[in-house]
Every structure is written in structure tokens, then in C-alpha cells.
Structure 1
Amino acid sequence: MASKFHLKKAKDGQFHFNLLAGNGEIILTSEMYKAKDSALNGIESVKKNSAREGAFEIKTSSNDKHYFVLKATNGQVVGQSQMYTTAASCKNGVESVQKNAPGAVLNDES
């Protein structure tokens, strides 16, 4: 199965997307967007920035779990990962986004 961006419309009318790896696992989640076009721009930003050096920032939460954010060139966060128990597994998540995002197809469920 190929990697995919799943674009969805929330109950409040806003849009968001998830990037799924080939195995169906969610590897990146977006913020909420008021307009569908903005969410589509967010997907393009993930595709473009996932290959950019320095675009990922690995962080540690207050409960010592690890996660990463993907930032656009303007510093805005365009996606965030799930929580990982180890820094190594978090790094693997970054690598998965770098590998899967550029060629991911859009599955519009909005």
C-alpha cells in the first residue's frame, strides 16, 4: 500500500489531514484549517518541507515522551507526530515522513 494524505472535514467544519505510511500507520497530523484550500496548501508544504534540512524539530513532552514537529520555512508548524517512548523511535518517525511524504497521494474524504 502506498503512503497517503487523508484529508478530512471535522464536525465543526474545519479541515485537517493525516499522513499515513504504506502500512496505514499515521505518521504526521496537521493542525485544523478553516478552509479546504488552506489544508491542501498544508499538504503541499509537508511534501516540500519534509525534504528540507532542519525542517524537523524533535521535542520531549512533560511526561518524557518524544515527538517531532515539521516546520515550514517561515517557522510555522505544518504537522506533528504521535508520542514515542524513545528518542530513537521518534527519529525513525522523522525518517518515515521524509521517505513517505514527497510521493504520497491525496485521499480526499472531506
Structure 2
Amino acid sequence: MSSRFNIRSCADGLFFFELQASNGRVLVTSRAFRRKQAVLEALRGFQCASNDSFIYLCSEQSSRGFSFYITNGLGKKVAFSEPYSNRWALKQGIEAAKSNAASARIIDLSDVSPL
């Protein structure tokens, strides 16, 4: 399986995307959007942008470990990572998100049962 962006819907009618690596691990999950078109715009921006256009910021969550979030050029949070056990794993997660996003296929799963 190659890396992919999965577009999903929630029971409340909102949409989000997740970047899934080729090994099946979810690297990042987006915030919720009201319109599917807004999700597509956010993920295409993330996918097509140079590494400098999106900013990867780290945060520490004492009980869950380390995570990062991604902001666009306007400073708006676009997506969040899964928790990592240490800083080295966090750095590897950021690099994996950058490398997987560029070539990820877009799969629309929003018509499947909402999460």
C-alpha cells in the first residue's frame, strides 16, 4: 500500500483528512471542516506546498508523550500528529509526514459510514 490521504466524515456532518503512511500508520489527522471542498483545499495545500510553506510545531503532552501540529502560512492549525514516545520518534514522525504527503493518493471515504 502506498501512502494516502483518507477523507472521512463524522456523524455530525463534518469532514476531515488523515495522512496514512504506506505501513498503515496514521501520521496526521486534520481538524474538522464543514465542507468537503475545504478539506480538499487544505490537504492539497499541505500536499503541494514546499516544506517551508507549512510549519511543524512540537508540543509536549505529559501523559500522552510528544506530538506535533501543522500550521499553514496564516498560522491556522491544519493537522495534528499522533503521540510519540520520545523526541527522536517525534522528529522521525515529522520527516515521515513531509515525505509521505508529497506522493500520497487522495481516497474519499466520506460516503462510508461516518466515524
TM-score by length of 1: 0.92
Which consecutive segments of 4 or more residues in structure 1 shift more than 6 A? none
Alpha carbons of structure 1 residues 75 and 49: separation in structure 2 relative to 1, 3 Å: farther
Distance change (3 Å), C-alpha of 1:71 and 1:50: farther
Paired AA for residue 24 in structure 2:
G
Supply the AA of the counterpart residue of 2:26.
I
After TM superposition, give the deviation of residue 54 of structure 1 in Å.
Answer: 6.7
Please name the residue that 2:3 is paired with: 3
CA distance in 1, matches of 2:17, 2:64: 26
Q: Distance in 2 between matches of 1:48 and 1:73?
A: 13
Mean Cα deviation higher: 31-40 or 64-73: 64-73
Task: Give aligned pairs, total.
Answer: 110
Where does residue 93 of structure 1 map in the other structure? 93
1:51-99 per-residue CA deviation (whole Å, 9 max, x = no partner) reads: 2277111110143611001110001111110111101101100000011
| 2:65 alignment partner in structure 1 | 65
1:26: which partner in 2?
Answer: 26
Where 2:22 maps in the other structure, the secondary structure is coil
Give the TM-score normalised by structure 2. Answer: 0.89
Q: Is the 8 A contact 2:58 2:67 kept in 1?
A: yes
Identity %: 27
Is there any run of 5+ residues in structure 2 with no aligned partner, and where? 111-115
CA deviation map 1:21-66 (0-9, x unaligned): 0111100000000000001111112213462277111110143611
Q: Quick one: structure 1 residues 50 and 18, their matched pair in 2 at CA, closer, same or farther if it must change by over 3 Å?
A: farther
Cα separation, 1, equivalents of 2:12 and 2:100: 29
Residues 54 and 17 of structure 1, relative CA distance in 2, 3 Å threshold: closer
Point out where structure 1 has 5 or more consecutive residues left out of the alignment. Answer: none
RMSD (Å) for aligned C-alpha atoms: 1.6
